[in-house]
Amino acid sequence: MKRWLAFGCVVLLVAAALAWSEVRKAHAPVDTRAVLYFLADTERELGRLPFGLTRLSNEEEIAIGNELAGYDTRGFSGAQPQDAEVAAIVERVGQQIAVRAHRKLPYTFHYIPDLRLANAFALPGGHIFIGAGLIAMMDTEDQLAAVLGHEIAHVDRFHCAERFQVEARLRKLNLGVVGALANLPLTIFQAGYSKTQELEADRVGTELAVRASYSPLGAVGLFEKFAALDRGESPRAGSPQAEVLRVTLGTLTGYFRSHPAPNERIAQIQRLIAEHNWEQLTREKTLASRPAPPPKPAP
């Protein structure tokens, strides 16, 4: 009897949400808003349901991701001739890894040709962003594969979708206002996840990258660079990395704050290499093109 009552509640809620989305259409031009309103209402009425039961469908997650990505992808046209080449490499490496992911989602890779962005982040539904500042620190495609694999894993393991759902719920409760996607800042996806989720993204991402024929040493090499910077060691003066760091240092500090300590990440990848007998996978492919270095400062 109880079960039927709960089922009836859900049916009524769905019907009400659909009816409401019709009424609201003039104010809410995209379907994703209706999804958000529905989500918020369902949570209010059935607040005792475990969090996992409100899992978004792939279609809902894709619609939400597309809507969020739309706010931030306008106006990122590259300024340097290398930018098109780097964007093409990001797309190729990213898709090679994404086809190995467990969830079948339409992954889109956005290269942001801004050296000040030494970061990467993912949105629900499979939008992956990576900044020129991070790629400028890399030497190999395998290092790029490590970062893209990590971000794909955040989507594949529902971290991004859950972050979205938690934020939607929080905003509803704290602000007393129905959250609209336009009001959700993308920084909530750039801020990093729990340590458990970050380490899971490293593990799953490395496994996907290895299945796409990349070396797990890509992750190790990149994290070693981060570890050196974390210790305050600066790259050789005059090297491309040193040039880039002049403009990225502020954002890199943000990256360190939002991710576990590089040494812990390296230790985990090394355990993974031993577990899977990946010791022979040492060959890395040099990165064919890199973002242009920043202009020399005026003397």
Q: Which residues bind Zn ion (CB under 5 A)?
A: 198, 201
Residue 17 vs 204, nearer CB to Zn ion? 204
Residue 174 vs 187, nearer CB to Zn ion? 187
Residue 56 vs 122, nearer CB to Zn ion? 122
Q: How far is the CB of 155 from Zn ion (least distance, A)?
A: 11
Q: How far is the CB of 140 from Zn ion (least distance, A)?
A: 20
Residue 72 vs 85, nearer CB to Zn ion? 72
Q: How far is the CB of 128 from Zn ion (least distance, A)?
A: 11
| CA dist., res. 155 & res. 164, Å (int) | 11
| CA dist., res. 72 & res. 116, Å (int) | 16
| CA dist., res. 75 & res. 6, Å (int) | 47
Which pair of structure tokens corresponds to residue 32? 């994703």
Q: How far is the CB of 157 from Zn ion (least distance, A)?
A: 11
DSSP class of residue 181 equals G
Q: How far is the CB of 68 from Zn ion (least distance, A)?
A: 17
Residue of 218, 212, 167 whose CA lies nearest to 190: 167
Which amino acid, residue 273? I
Residue 37 vs 193, nearer CB to Zn ion? 193
User: Exposure of 284 by Cβ count < 10 A (0-12 exposed, 13-18 middle, 19+ buried)?
Assistant: middle
Coil, helix or strand for 256? Answer: helix
Q: How far is the CB of 257 from Zn ion (least distance, A)?
A: 12
Q: Are 118 and 131 in contact (CB under 8 A)?
A: yes
Q: How far is the CB of 110 from Zn ion (least distance, A)?
A: 16
Strand partners, 111: 130
| CA dist., res. 271 & res. 274, Å (int) | 5
Residue 190 vs 241, nearer CB to Zn ion? 190
Which pair of structure tokens corresponds to residue 181? 């996607």
Residue 148 vs 201, nearer CB to Zn ion? 201
Distances (CA, A) of 233 to 21, 27, 224: 55, 53, 11
Strands 108-112 and 127-131: parallel
Q: How far is the CB of 172 from Zn ion (least distance, A)?
A: 26
Residue 156 vs 198, nearer CB to Zn ion? 198
Per the document, the length of the chain is 299
Residue of 72, 195, 196 whose CA lies nearest to 128: 72
